[in-house]
Amino acid sequence: MSTASFFSKGLLDSGIGEVINPDTYFQTNLPPRTLPEDEKKVKEFVNKHNKAGRRIVLITSGGTTVPLENNTVRFLDNFSAGTRGATSAEYPFNSFLQFSLQPYSRHYTHSTNCFLDFIELKNDGHIEVISQYVPKMKSILEKYQKVKQEGALLLISFVTVADYLFLLRSVTQIMKDLNEHAMYYLAAAVSDFFIPSQKMVQHKIQSADGGLTLTMDQVPKFLKPLVTNWAPKGFIVSFKLETDPFLLVDKSRQALTKYGHQIVIGNLLTTRKQEVTFITKDSEPKMQLTEEEINNNIEIESKIVPELVKRHDEWIKNAQKENS
């Protein structure tokens, strides 16, 4: 059974599509070609840091696309510039997984932050960083080089929602044995609807016939197998994006109750950089930047990450108590 999403001249009317379970999804969709290589890199990363007694955090970030054609010219995207994950990865986590914006270089790759605007060509042909930008760049570069030297960051990219889900399943399973020591920080914007490849046209959809009507199936809810089977002992934080302030807390709580993980961080599209709500089993505190902090370019991730690290510490302590 499936209902249709109608997409015509910019008007998208979404509906509830065919619901399939995650196993069927993995059997009927193709993994990304680079999956075996990525799995190998992740295994090496996890073994190395685990042996050194470091905690490992999986950060997912950025949008996930849904192709409309097998030879893809058109796709739908879920909103995310990738700022949340890229920014969070700069605060003290050991971390990996794709970023549309990458940690550290994000300061110079936004459309409004083109790196070319930070450098100048001198008369003798040398290129230099413009002096007023040196202090900030120096501090970012120092942190970036330290992280690189320690091999503390592994970046893996995905484009489509299928790439993302295959990677998520593989990576969480590789991290499974870290038990309570692993944290999962799921900020990627995951598409709710997709067109299975066997139902997709092979070639570019032609516009000669006028408007376009699409039927989309529902992407299975992956938090359930993730929490229950892939990473059952891990500390799992998911994000919930809404646009209607009246829905945010209820929808976030529904997700927490349904999947049974540790925290849902609710955020609204328009205020996500200044305000988030931590939904846990027994509380729902808001975390907000003050006017002063906003004016001083403080990033809300500088508060989110330490709070999560603290809660993860408690999670580990409790798990160890239970095990002893």
From the list 144-152, 177-185, 200-208, 239-247, the region that binds ligand 9Z3 by CB under 6 A is: 239-247
Select from 17, 82, 225, 234 the one that contacts ligand 9Z3 (CB under 6 A). Answer: 82
Smaller CB separation from ligand 9Z3, 80 or 262:
80
* Residue 168 interacting with ligand 9Z3 (CB under 6 A): no
Q: How far is the CB of 213 from ligand 9Z3 (least distance, A)?
A: 25
From the list 22-30, 181-189, 193-201, 303-311, the region that binds ligand 9Z3 by CB under 6 A is: 181-189
* Residue 262 interacting with ligand 9Z3 (CB under 6 A): no
Write a three-state SS string for the chain. CCCCEEEECCEEECCCCCECCHHHHHHHCCCCCCHHHHHHHHHHHHHHHHHCCCCEEEEECCECEEECECCCCCEEECCCCCHHHHHHCCCCCCEECCCCCCCCHHHHCCCCCCHHHHEEECCCCCEEECHHHHHHHHHHHHHHHHHHHHCCEECCCCCEHHHHHHHHHHHHHHHHHHHHHEEEEECCECCCEECCHHHCECCCCCCCCCCEEECCEECCCCHHHHHHHHCCCCEEEEEEEECCHHHHHHHHHHHHHHHCCCEEEEEECCCCCCEEEEECCCCCCEEECCHHHHHCCCCCHHHHHHHHHHHHHHHHHHHHHHHC
Q: How far apart are CA 313 and CA 324, in angstroms?
A: 17
Q: How far apart are CA 148 and CA 144, in angstroms?
A: 6
* Residue 272 interacting with ligand 9Z3 (CB under 6 A): yes
* Residue 304 interacting with ligand 9Z3 (CB under 6 A): no
Q: How far is the CB of 108 from ligand 9Z3 (least distance, A)?
A: 17
From the list 51-59, 125-133, 236-244, 315-323, the region that binds ligand 9Z3 by CB under 6 A is: 236-244
Instruction: State phi, psi for 94 to the nearest 5 degrees.
Output: -95, 125
Select from 240, 253, 261, 312 the one that contacts ligand 9Z3 (CB under 6 A). Answer: 240
The residue count for binding ligand 9Z3 (CB under 6 A) is 16
Select from 59, 189, 219, 308 the one that contacts ligand 9Z3 (CB under 6 A). Answer: 189
* Residue 59 interacting with ligand 9Z3 (CB under 6 A): no
Select from 17, 25, 55, 84 the one that contacts ligand 9Z3 (CB under 6 A). Answer: 84
Question: Quick one: which of 179, 309, 181 has its CA closest to 232?
Answer: 179
* Residue 95 interacting with ligand 9Z3 (CB under 6 A): no
Smaller CB separation from ligand 9Z3, 110 or 143:
110
* Residue 241 interacting with ligand 9Z3 (CB under 6 A): yes
Select from 95, 172, 267, 277 the one that contacts ligand 9Z3 (CB under 6 A). Answer: 267
Smaller CB separation from ligand 9Z3, 15 or 211:
15
* Residue 186 interacting with ligand 9Z3 (CB under 6 A): yes
Select from 20, 35, 81, 316 the one that contacts ligand 9Z3 (CB under 6 A). Answer: 81
CA 243 to chain centre: 18
Type of residue numbered 93: F
* Residue 190 interacting with ligand 9Z3 (CB under 6 A): yes
Binding site for ligand 9Z3 (CB under 6 A): 80-84, 186-187, 189-190, 223, 238-241, 267, 272
